[in-house]
Structure 1
Amino acid sequence: MRRRLLTALAAVIFCAGAFGAPAASASAVADGPAAVWSAVPAPAGTDAPGPDDRTSFYLEGAAGAVLSDKLSLVNPTDRARSLELRASAPWISLAERQVRVPARTRADVPLSVTVPGDRSGAGGLSGAVVVKGEGREVRVPLALRVSGAPALPALAVENVRVSAAADGRGAVIRYAVVNRGNTVLAPRLDIRADGVFGTVLRRTVRDAPAALAPGRAVQRAERWADAPRLDSVTVRVTAAAEGGVRAGGAASYTPWRWVVPVLGGGVFGVLGAVVLVRRVAGRRRGLRGRVLDRIFTAPFPSACSCPALGATNTRQRPGPCPCGPGASLVALLLVVLVLFSSAGTALADGRSPTLSLDRSEAGKGSAVVVTGEGWRPGALLTLLVCGQDMVGGTNDCANAEGRTVTTGSDGRFRRELVVAEPPRPCPCVVHVATVMGDAQGADVPLVVAGHPVAPVPSSARLGVLAARLEGSSGLLTWFGAPPERRLVVTVGNLGSGAVKDPVFRVGTARGVLAPVWEERKWKGTVPAGQRARVVFDVELAAGAHGPYEVSLKYGEKVVVTEPWDVGRPWGVVLFWGLLGCVVAVGLFRVGMVVVDRLRPPPAAPEGSGGPALPWFAPGTLPPPE
């Protein structure tokens, strides 16, 4: 009996071992590394992430913007876990580097992304948040899309000055290179100096900055050891970069300023005398008559018609008629090119991605169906509900409630999206964009019922790309007329919205005095990523001279400062000098007349009834002995 009981017990233990081991193994797998902890983008609410929630981060914003999101660390086990976090890119910042997650708890760790300022218009960047702990490592992908205005590269060379070196040996060329655009540039600098007798300097700067970030300026000073001593030169500094970006600045340098006027006056005097003699001695009238006769009496060919162009050419110079049979072929080719270009534009427009919603208004918690066409086949898309027309990037969107979808082979998709209230007021949009690869994006308006509405702030950002003063002083300015110049400014729209009818203020100041501002309104529109040329007329008071400064202000910021060295009106000085001489001579003459009138006549000699005569007269001298 006892043996039977032991045999039955052994059989039960064997069955338990045979069938219980797999169950224990499965439980171990379930409680293994996959169920220890998880790291995903933070979903909405406080529940654990579900199958419809995000599996990667997607952030979008303009260059320089700071975007935010959260990472969820979920610990479903019965004991606390210590995890280490790190970012794979320098533009990703984590609020914590080490996190201890209690048992059966979800911990949200804030993170911020600073959009690199040197990638405006450059497309997308990729990175990841790496979580490590308990012998395993999880990478949560992060895709960053740089939005905003298209790339607008621009350089400027400002404040070019040439002065004698402090030690008296040569000269020093000082200038500033400024990156006025929104992309990083590697400028190539060249210096050239041209004098009266030719080029005296041609140099390429070897230690030019390898990378100049947007908005940065580099002050440089170049030593010119063999600068000329008896010459007037114009020094030009040229900066060039990839993409056809080019800028330059110039300054004049004269070691002895009296040499050039004296030599120039002498040369011009000699040339003027030679020309005057030749013009007086030449047969000007006969030569001019022959030239005019040859010009106005030259025969013109008969009119030739151009049926292909629908016009008649009735005044052509001698030669074959340009309206031959080839004109019809040229016109036909032009028409074909225009048609093909229009068709190509239509095809390109047909390939642009489109979005549509099953309804244009929905409340919080309801679902809308988003349908898209024309997208890249097999592309991973993210769908977000954003406020303020998403001018501030994904900071304006409900990121936690975002969804993802993969397009089909025909570039179409259909996805249900739960409407959430974005962190910014409406107007709201449903924003869809590609997560990786070439940038594609589209927005469709959505009215979120009950959500506040506020005006959309302007996303335009006008910047100055180049500025210079044009013009010269005329003869009247030499005699005291108001000096005039033209301030030519090249502006660029570095933002994502158009700038219409911007208002500037132009100011002039002498020396250290505060500028006097005058409001100027420019009529026109500058689209995003485009340039425009703005010209302002600047006029000083009559007789003004000395160091002046012309400034341009846009908004509350001074964007242009150009020096203007106004010469002294020497004609006025000469006039007053001559007037002083004339007055002095006139007073002297008047004084002499008064003296002659008031001076008594000389007395006559005694004993003579007439005027005294000399004791000898010509021809009456006594002969020599």
Structure 2
Amino acid sequence: MSRPALAARFAVTVGAILVLGLAGGATAGARAEPVVAVDQTEVALGEELAVRLAGWAPGTVLVELCGNGAHRGSIDCAVGTGATAAVRADGSGSVALTLSMPPSGCPCVVRVRPVLSGATVTVPVVVRGVPVQPAPPAGRVPTALAATGVRVAASGSSWASIFGGPAHRTVTVTLSNPGQAPVAEPRLRLTSGRPGRTDVIVPAPGIELLEPGQRRTFDLPVTFGAPTWGRYAVRGELLGADQPAVFYAHTYSYPWGLLVLPAFAIGLAMRRRWRRVG
């Protein structure tokens, strides 16, 4: 690493320590506002960012990298690769966050929020490798898309999944245009897999023009390939607007039939043995 880079990183770290020291020096009678400090303000995807906390209520907090300034909450954040940090009794804590691509483009922030309830704090960071969302031209009404009412239900024959075969699910979601301008060609991108690793492409239907305030509900068939065991996720990304939408659906499949069959076979064998003995 070059000397200028080392000097810049040293300056950021010293500044973070000073900020955290000031926050930690608040009187016990009035807890300081929650403070978040990072050891770098410019990083690249895949790198680790040291995040330090001060003035937080004791407990557990979630730390995530978000795009779009986290203006829409979790749908802008890489929730699958976030980190958790334990806040000590003195309000301090620390964690290393590995940066992965957020659902939305930059401006990017590190978002820290309590698991249960409390204030959310964000810190801006420049992340190399994450595209910057273009601002809409002056005079043009920004377009927006939204996804609500997400739910999952079993579909098709469930016999195969009982024994570890493919699991069929239907994801129902309502897509809408909450903006003030029509969205001409919205595109739906679907992927499935394990939570945090949804890398299997799922065929998605085409979507026609969405006028302002218009809603459409879709039933999306998804199949998880064999052998199925445990929890699964579906990630949907609705593109084609200045403010895209991201949604998640979670389900599970356990091959309990593989446990029942041996028990049934053992019971049948014992019954035959008892008959011979009798």
Structure 1 length normalisation: TM-score?
0.17
Q: Please say which structure displays the higher CA radius of gyration.
A: 1
Give the structure, 1 or 2, with the largest relative contact order (CA under 8 Å, sep 6 or more).
Answer: 2
